[in-house]
């Protein structure tokens, strides 16, 4: 019998809410099956089983928020556990499942919110009161304050007859179609990045890279392909970084308990921005062993799921390095903040035509700035520079990727 625990999906996670139980007691469990979904600050994460067996029992009801490490379910893993007596202390005996009634995230001052205090039903003033030159304005205190802050003359405000003016009616705060910024996501980013800047002695390097060959390769590859089979430059750069890491393993792995453990596999975390605010960097597993088409398919799948706010637990916890690309509409250069417990982040600025020297003559080339932020506890600038140059070299021979 083994317990299936609320996983830690990164250093910044303390608790999660079980939102889906995808199997019922008695169902067979296979390693890698998604058996539950957990709501965290980063969205809904699918949790996979780590071993084969039979799901015996759910220990936590749906909708319950529990700390990391809490057993969520028991899984019977085979012969050896048949006679195992129920160890009473093993499974928390209905230990009050920390039933925090899902604490509301602190509401930033600025969010448009429902007015909590309806205006007391004052004396009804007929909408068209003939004797009142300036009819009494029905406005909530918060709206009045906001209007004052914004320098708006109250006399210019109007509400439908019988309605009260709320904050949402104040110009400049008109309701938009955008959802409010996901403050949970911001809190998660804040926690991880603060820890990074507190603990990790970053150093930074930058290198101008000619992207002409890689771009031409992508164009040539896509020429006869239908849209669903096309490559993006991002897949080529991902592979170029992953391959360079094979020779520079000190940038690929995790730093925990005062020591660095390199990873044999490269699970490249792709920084993906979320519409409406926020960022996640889920892993592209085994980046270095996949061909470009497979990688591209995986990237599409990952981006699609990130946009839908749903990814797997391992994708969040197992990335061994992060790659952050500014894409086509960004700026020249970015210096990343390392995502602990990783030890490096590679950045790629927006490629654009720039004068470079080719064969002794100035020529317009598609170029991009490659940057590295790395952990000085693990590596030095010398090796970092060699690592960046190895990425550059790989990008000059894209057909070998």
Partner 1 sequence: MTQHDIATILTEELHRIAPDIDPDDTDPAADLREEYDIDSMDFLTLVTALGKRLGLEMPEADYDQMRSFDALAGYLRARTG
- Interaction site with partner 1 (CB under 8 A): 176-179, 219, 222-223, 226-228, 230, 232-234, 275-276, 299-300, 303-304, 327-329
For residue 234, the minimal CB distance to partner 1 (Å) is 7
Strands of 71-76's sheet, edge to edge?
2-5, 71-76, 53-58, 28-29
Please enumerate in sequence order all residues whose Cβ is within 8 A of that of 282, keeping only pairs 6 or more positions apart, or say none.
Answer: 269, 270, 272, 302, 306, 311, 312, 315, 316, 319
For residue 303, the minimal CB distance to partner 1 (Å) is 5
**What gap in Å lies between CA 317 and CA 164, rounded to an integer?**
48
For residue 360, the minimal CB distance to partner 1 (Å) is 32
Let me know: does 74 contact 1? Beta carbons within 8 Å: yes
Neighbours of 316 (CB within 10 A): 22
**What gap in Å lies between CA 173 and CA 158, rounded to an integer?**
15
For residue 276, the minimal CB distance to partner 1 (Å) is 5
Give 154 or 303: the residue with its C-beta nearer to partner 1: 303
For residue 226, the minimal CB distance to partner 1 (Å) is 6
For residue 353, the minimal CB distance to partner 1 (Å) is 15
String of b and e for 156-178 (b: at least 16 CB within 10 Å)? ebeeeeeebbbbebbeebeeeee
Give 156 or 176: the residue with its C-beta nearer to partner 1: 176
Give 230 or 352: the residue with its C-beta nearer to partner 1: 230
Give 95 or 304: the residue with its C-beta nearer to partner 1: 304
Question: How would you class 276 by CB atoms within 10 Å of its CB: exposed for 0-12, middle for 13-18, buried for 19 or more?
Answer: exposed
Let me know: does 28 contact 49? Beta carbons within 8 Å: no
Look at the chain and count its residues.
401
Give 72 or 241: the residue with its C-beta nearer to partner 1: 241
Give 77 or 294: the residue with its C-beta nearer to partner 1: 294
């Amino acid at each position: 019998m083994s317990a299936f625990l609320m996983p830690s999906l990164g250093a910044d996670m303390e608790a999660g809410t079980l939102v889906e139980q995808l199997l019922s007691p008695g169902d067979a469990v296979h390693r890698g099956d998604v058996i539950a979904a957990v709501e965290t600050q980063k969205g809904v994460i699918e949790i996979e089983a780590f071993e084969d067996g039979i799901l015996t029992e759910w220990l936590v009801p749906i909708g319950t928020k529990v700390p990391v490490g809490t057993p969520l379910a028991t899984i019977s893993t085979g012969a050896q556990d048949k006679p195992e007596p129920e160890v009473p202390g093993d499974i928390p005996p209905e230990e009050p499942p920390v039933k925090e009634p899902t604490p509301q995230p602190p509401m930033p001052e600025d969010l448009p919110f429902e007015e909590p205090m309806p205006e007391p039903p004052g004396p009804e003033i007929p909408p068209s009161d003939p004797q009142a030159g300036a009819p009494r304005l029905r406005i909530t205190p918060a709206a009045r304050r906001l209007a004052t802050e914004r320098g708006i003359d109250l006399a210019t405000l109007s509400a439908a007859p019988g309605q009260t003016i709320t904050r949402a009616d104040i110009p400049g705060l008109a309701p938009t179609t955008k959802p409010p910024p996901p403050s949970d996501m911001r809190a998660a980013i804040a926690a991880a990045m603060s820890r990074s800047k507190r603990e990790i002695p970053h150093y930074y390097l930058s290198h101008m890279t000619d992207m002409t060959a890689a771009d031409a390769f992508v164009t040539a590859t896509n020429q006869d392909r239908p849209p669903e089979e096309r490559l993006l430059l991002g897949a080529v750069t991902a592979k170029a970084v992953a391959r360079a890491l094979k020779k520079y393993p000190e940038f690929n792995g995790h730093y925990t308990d005062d020591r660095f453990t390199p990873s044999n596999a490269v699970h490249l975390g792709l920084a993906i921005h979320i519409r409406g605010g926020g960022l996640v960097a889920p892993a592209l597993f085994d980046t270095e062993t996949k061909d470009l088409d497979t990688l591209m398919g995986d990237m599409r799948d990952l981006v699609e799921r990130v946009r839908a706010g749903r990814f797997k637990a391992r994708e969040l916890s197992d990335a061994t390095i992060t790659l952050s690309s500014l894409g086509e509409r960004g700026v020249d250069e970015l210096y990343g903040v390392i995502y602990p417990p990783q030890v490096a982040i590679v950045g790629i600025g927006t490629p654009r035509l720039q004068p470079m020297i080719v064969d002794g003559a100035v020529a317009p080339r598609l170029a991009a700035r490659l940057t590295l932020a790395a952990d000085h506890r693990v590596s030095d600038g010398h090796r970092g520079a060699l690592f960046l140059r190895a990425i550059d070299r790989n990008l000059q021979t894209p057909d070998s990727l």
